[in-house]
Structure 1
């Protein structure tokens, strides 16, 4: 997706076909997750009705098994990671109206984390940010990795893999733009490894931002917190 808010259109017949298939899913589970905007995202990501429908079924099963609805601010794991300033959903939006997930990478240490807990916290952040989308206008997110204070112990390849997997399989087409701020020289030795895990569409959404003028292209000046 480009940096604008416009959506890539999907075939109307495919949307109607997918809605028809979803009737049986909705009848069996009235609280199931997907609305018409979600169906269109799955079609854009998985291309065919068959592939999109199968992907939706897998997401529904994953959400139940992973107990996504239990990942709230009252969950002890979520509370711990919020108190540790691992990430925040910001009050501000980006210049295109996207909700912002802000991640101060300096607060992360690969040697002092539980990957299962951290992945649950990432799911919580994705869920909360998605809830703040005005889907009629824009249904994707801005994720900001702030690398100020980055050390090599902050680099967590497994967590990056988990985030990519979640984005591809269960939050398709939710990423609008990913900003990488204040990247030090040492991070540029890590980036080629990460880059190989990304498809071309996702890779185009990664933007390295090194100065305030460039940042203003994406965010209002006072959007980022100063106390994390």
Structure 2
């Protein structure tokens, strides 16, 4: 997500909003978000091309009404991604969660791909229900996570800081989860544009060159620009962005979240 739009971009933003209104694509109360920050994300994803951003917006609104046959609002009513019966088991086999913030006030999203076990996961939750979890987790970011972080920071936070930990990650795990990860990245880029403000991959194994050759095909140029890839010597890079006290101990910080029974159960 870019900084606050400059004067020229503000003019484009006003034109974009008027264009959406003329086409009946935006209405008060739309859960996609109708604030300037949301509209600017779509513009930035399309290099401030109003027509291209309007098509992206229209496609997103259609997806939001039709995904999984019920629409994202209904899915979000059906599943709270932070509180559902299989939550602890799902975290065991695909750990992903939010944990405090970086130095800019952006929520830290941590995913541990090295712990992913798809066969065990699907013994716990059905593939369809897990996909609902992925979608509602994505929806929660602009709807709840970023607004709360922005309120705490006293400013508009420009997205999330995504950390993917590949410690122990194998080619076998990559092939198991490839389809889900690809589809999740596509949903993020198409329907939640510019949500990751920073993207750091840590503990990249020696096999990552092959994995990266596949992974980078899924990512938009704007996403690739935000990414850094580190091996096991990532701590210095990570601590440039995140204070030690906000970073879990096993990622080089000092946080243990003793009051919550461990950092993955930290309450946003």
Is the helix fraction higher in 1 or 2? 2
Q: TM-score, normalised by structure 2?
A: 0.71
Alpha-carbon distance change, 32 to 126 in structure 1, aligned in 2, over 3 angstroms: closer
State the shift of 1:172 in Å.
0.9
Change (3 A) 1:124 1:30: closer
Superposed CA deviations along residues 69-108 of structure 1, whole A, max 9, x for unmatched, are 2341455566753465521111x11122211111111221
Q: Residue 106 of structure 1 aligns to a residue in which SS?
A: helix
1:106–1:149 contact (8 Å) kept in structure 2: yes
Give 1 or 2 for the bigger CA radius of gyration: 2
Give structure 1 stretches of 5+ with no counterpart: none
Distance of aligned partners of 1:85 and 1:191 in 2 relative to their CA distance in 1, 3 Å threshold: closer
Change (3 A) 1:213 1:83: closer
- Paired residues, number: 223
1:177 aligns to 2:190 (yes or no): no
Q: Deviations 1:118-154 (Å, cap 9, x if unpaired)?
A: 4332333333333222284322111111112222232
Per the alignment, residue 31 of structure 1 pairs with 30
TM-score by length of 1: 0.81
- Residue 224 of structure 1 aligns with which residue? 248
Cα distance change on mapping 1:191 and 1:115 into 2, 3 Å: farther
2:42 pairs with 1:42: yes
Range with bigger deviation, 117-126 or 11-20? 117-126
Match of 1:153 among 160, 166, 172: 172
Name the counterpart of 1:132: 145
1:142 equivalent to 2:165? Answer no
**2:40 is aligned with 1:19:** no
Q: Which moved more, 1:133-142 or 1:56-65?
A: 133-142
CA pair 87-225 structure 1, distance change in 2 beyond 3 A: farther
Shift of 1:217: 1.4
1:191 aligned partner: 212
In structure 2, the CA distance between the partners of 1:15 and 1:162, relative to structure 1 (3 Å rule), is same
Are the counterparts in 2 of residues 110 and 153 from structure 1 also a CA contact under 8 Å? no
The CA RMSD measured in Å over matched residues stands at 2.8
Partner of 2:254: none
2:104 alignment counterpart: 96
Alignment partners' CA distance in 1, 2:223 and 2:191: 15
Q: Distance in 2 between matches of 1:65 and 1:78?
A: 26
Structure 1 residue 20, shift from structure 2 partner = 2.0
In 2, Cα distance between the equivalents of 1:100 and 1:140? 10
Deviation at 1:171, TM superposition (A): 0.9
